[in-house]
Amino acid sequence: MIVFYLQYRFCLCHQKYYSPIIQSLFDRHLYRPSTDTMALFKMDIPQRAQHFLECGIEECERNCEFYCNLCHQRLCKQCSEEHLKSPENKNHEVVLYQQRKRQLPVEKCKIHPTKDVDMLCEECQVPVCSKCATQSKHRGHIFTDLETIYAEKYAVFQKEIFKIHEYFLPTSQDLQKEIKRDAVEIKHIMDNIRTSMKTEGETLKSLVDTVISENMKQLDQIEHSLLEDLNTQDKTLDDYITYLNNLVKELHRCLSSTETQKLMSEKKPKIRSIPETTKPVTPGFTAGQYSKSDVSKLLGKIQVPNTKAEKREIKPIDSVYNTAMKPTHKQTKEDRNKSDKKQTLSLSASVTRVREFNVPGVNDVFHVSLDQSDRLWISDYDGNLVQTDLQGNVIQKIKTSGRMEGYHTVTQGRDLIFTNKYKKVINRITQDNKITEFIKTGDWTPLSIHSSHINGDLLVGMKKIGEAKVTRYNKTGKELQNIQRDNKGQELYIAPHYITENINGDICTSDHGRAVVVVNKSGQHRFSYTGQKSGFCPFGICTDVLGHILVCDHYSDTVHLLDQDGQFLSLLLTHQQAVYGPRSVCVDDEDNLYVGQDETNTLTVYKYLQ
Report pLDDT digits (tens) over 136-189: 888 888 888 888 788 788 878 878 888 888 888 888 988 898 899 889 889 988
Task: State the DSSP H helix or E strand holding residue 447, giving kind and residue range, or none if neither.
Answer: strand 445-451
Choose the weakest-confidence range: 8-22, 483-497, 552-566. 8-22
pLDDT at residue 341, as a whole number: 56
The pair phi, psi for residue 172, each rounded to 5°, is: -65, -40
Instruction: Tell me if 378 sits within 8 A of 390, measured CB to CB.
Output: no
pLDDT at 118 over 70: yes
Q: How many CA atoms lie within 13 Å of 74's alpha carbon, on the beta-carbon side?
A: 14
pLDDT at residue 237, as a whole number: 92
Give me the sign of the Cα torsion angle 256, 260, 262, 263: positive
What pLDDT band is residue 337 in, cutting at 50, 70 and 90?
Answer: low
The residue with greater pLDDT, 53 or 192, is 192
What pLDDT band is residue 340 in, cutting at 50, 70 and 90?
Answer: low
Q: How far apart are CA 584 and CA 404, in angstroms?
A: 10
CB neighbour list of residue 417: distance below 8 Å, 6 or more residues apart: 408, 409, 410, 411, 426, 427, 428, 429, 438, 449, 451, 458
As to burial, measured by CB atoms within 10 angstroms (0-12 exposed, 13-18 middle, 19+ buried), residue 182 is exposed
Residues forming beta bridges with residue 71, ordered by sequence position: none
Based on the structure, what is the number of domains in the chain? 2
Nearest to 426, CA basis, from 464, 370, 478:
478
The residue with greater pLDDT, 344 or 301, is 301
Residue 407 lies in a domain: yes
pLDDT at residue 23, as a whole number: 40
Q: How far apart are CA 327 and CA 335, in angstroms?
A: 9
pLDDT at 598 over 70: yes
Instruction: Tell me if 445 sits within 8 A of 462, measured CB to CB.
Output: yes
What pLDDT band is residue 471 in, cutting at 50, 70 and 90?
Answer: very high
Q: CB atoms < 10 A from the CB of 563, how many?
A: 18
Mean pLDDT over each residue of the chain, to the nearest integer: 83
pLDDT at 604 over 80: yes
Is 118 in a helix, a strand, or coil? coil
User: The pTM is what?
Assistant: 0.51
Residue 251 lies in a domain: no
Buried b (16+ CB within 10 A) or exposed e, 396-423: eebebebbbbbbbbbbeeebbbbbbbee
Instruction: Tell me if 454 sits within 8 A of 505, measured CB to CB.
Output: yes
pLDDT mean over 364-371: 94
Residue 298 lies in a domain: no
Percent of the chain with pLDDT strictly greater than 70: 86
**CATH code: domain of residue 596:** 2.120.10.30
What pLDDT band is residue 262 in, cutting at 50, 70 and 90?
Answer: low
Alpha helix (H) residue ranges in 256-308: 260-265, 292-299
Residue 68 lies in a domain: no
pLDDT at residue 519, as a whole number: 94
Residue 380 lies in a domain: yes
Which amino acid, residue 445?
A: T
pLDDT at 507 over 70: yes
The residue with greater pLDDT, 88 or 551, is 551
pLDDT mean over 235-239: 93
pLDDT at residue 442, as a whole number: 93
pLDDT at residue 339, as a whole number: 54
pLDDT at 524 over 70: yes
Instruction: Tell me if 153 sits within 8 A of 10, measured CB to CB.
Output: yes
Instruction: Tell me if 260 sits within 8 A of 304, measured CB to CB.
Output: no
Residue-range definition of the domain harbouring residue 14? 1-44
> In the chain, how many H helices and how many E strands?
10, 30
Enter the DSSP assignment of 168.
I
Highest mean pLDDT among 13-17, 132-136, 442-446: 442-446
pLDDT at residue 10, as a whole number: 38
pLDDT at 43 over 80: no
Per-residue pLDDT of 17-35, as tens digits, reads: 333 333 433 333 333 343 3
Q: How far apart are CA 198 and CA 184, in angstroms?
A: 21
What pLDDT band is residue 526 in, cutting at 50, 70 and 90?
Answer: very high
Enter the DSSP assignment of 62.
S
Choose the weakest-confidence range: 80-89, 301-310, 377-386, 417-426. 301-310
What pLDDT band is residue 12 in, cutting at 50, 70 and 90?
Answer: very low
Is 397 in a helix, a strand, or coil? strand
Dihedral-angle region of residue 45 (phi above 0 means left; psi in -120 to 50 means alpha; beta otherwise): beta
Q: How far apart are CA 70 and CA 73, in angstroms?
A: 8
Residue 539 lies in a domain: yes
pLDDT at residue 443, as a whole number: 93
Choose the weakest-confidence range: 23-27, 48-52, 126-130, 346-350. 23-27
Instruction: Tell me if 418 sits within 8 A of 427, measured CB to CB.
Output: yes
Residue 76 lies in a domain: no
What pLDDT band is residue 255 in, cutting at 50, 70 and 90?
Answer: confident
The residue with greater pLDDT, 539 or 32, is 539
Residue 485 lies in a domain: yes
Q: How far apart are CA 121 and CA 107, in angstroms?
A: 16
Which amino acid, residue 89?
A: N
Dihedral-angle region of residue 229 (phi above 0 means left; psi in -120 to 50 means alpha; beta otherwise): alpha
pLDDT mean over 239-262: 83
pLDDT at residue 489, as a whole number: 86
pLDDT at residue 343, as a whole number: 57
Choose the weakest-confidence range: 280-284, 357-361, 494-498. 280-284
Choose the weakest-confidence range: 105-109, 221-225, 364-368, 604-608. 105-109
